[in-house]
Structure formats: C-alpha cells, structure tokens
Homo-oligomer: A and B are copies of this chain.
Amino acid sequence: MTTLVRDFGATVRALREVHAWSQEQLAEYAGLNRSYVGEIERGTAIASIVTADKLARAFNVPIEKLLCVPSRGVAG
C-alpha cells in the first residue's frame, strides 16, 4: 500500500505546484498543519479520508483525482 501513499503525496505536490502554492498556502486553504502537508507530500504520513477530502476541496477537484493513479493505462 506504500505505493498508494507515495502516489497520493506526489499528486498533492503536483497539484500544489500547478497552483504555485507554497505548503503553507495549501495547509491554510485545506485547514491542515503545514508540517503535516509536507509529510503527506513525502509519503511519510498516511492521510485519512477526511484529510484527502480537505485537500481535494482546497484544489477544487473530486477526491478520486487524488486517489486514482493516473497511469491506469489503456484498458477499457
């Protein structure tokens, strides 16, 4: 499951950088602690579904955008 946690963190970081937000800004928008945001991005903290929801709302994206690995491939 570590892959999920790492991918989640990488997606959060990528979205934050798209917005050109600092970790402080994202933390503020999501109502989270700055150091916790950093841990999530590095994959050293495992987010709860509530935290995932807060981050998704800060980015204004559906929660599955943070949880579904983009490299799902060409099936379907």
Chain A contacts to B: CB under 8 angstroms:
1, 4-5, 8, 46-50, 52-54, 62-64, 67-68
Contacts and interface: CB of A to CB of B under 8 A. Distances in A.
Copies of the chain in the assembly = 2
A8 B1 CA distance: 20
A49 B63 CA distance: 11
A1 B66 CA distance: 17
Given A47-B48, A48-B46, A48-B48, A4 B53 contact: yes
A15 B68 CA distance: 20
A42 to B, nearest CB: 15
Given A1-B54, A54-B1, A49 B62 contact: no
